[in-house]
Amino acid sequence: MSRRILILVALSLIGVATPASAQILSNPGGALGPLGQAIPSLPTQRLPVVGAVLPNQQQEQERQEMAASALAQPSLDRIGVGNVIDTFGSKPLARLRDQRLRTMILQFSEQLDRDKNGNPVRRGELVVIDPDAQALADVASAGFVPLREEAVLGLRFVVLSIPDRGGDIRKAMKRLAKAASGLDLEYNHVFEPAGGPLATTYSVALASGASLTAKGSLIAMIDGGVAAHESLKGAAIRQRGFVGKVVPTGHGTAVASLLVGDAGRFKGAAIGARLLVADVYGGNPAAGSATAIVRALGWAEENNAQVVNISLVGPPNKLLEKAIAQLQTRKIRVVAAVGNDGPAAPPQYPASYDGVVAVTGVDAQGRALREAGRAKHLDFAAPGADMAAALPAGGYAEVRGTSFAAPLAAARLAAIGSIENLSREAVDGKGKVGRGIVCSTCAISPKTVGAK
Catalytic residues: 223, 251, 403
In sequence order, the β-bridge partners of residue 241 are 279
Instruction: Give the list of residues 6+ apart from residue 51 with CB closer than 8 angstroms, or none.
Output: none
- Residue 278 phi/psi, 5-degree rounding, is -100, 110
In this structure, the number of other CB atoms found within 10 A of the CB of residue 309 comes to 34
In sequence order, the β-bridge partners of residue 239 are 277
CA-based R_g, the chain, Å: 21
Angle between helices 250-260 and 402-416 (to 10 degrees): 30
Which one, of 127, 155, 350, 396, lies nearest residue 253 by Cα?
396
d(CA 193, CA 224): 8
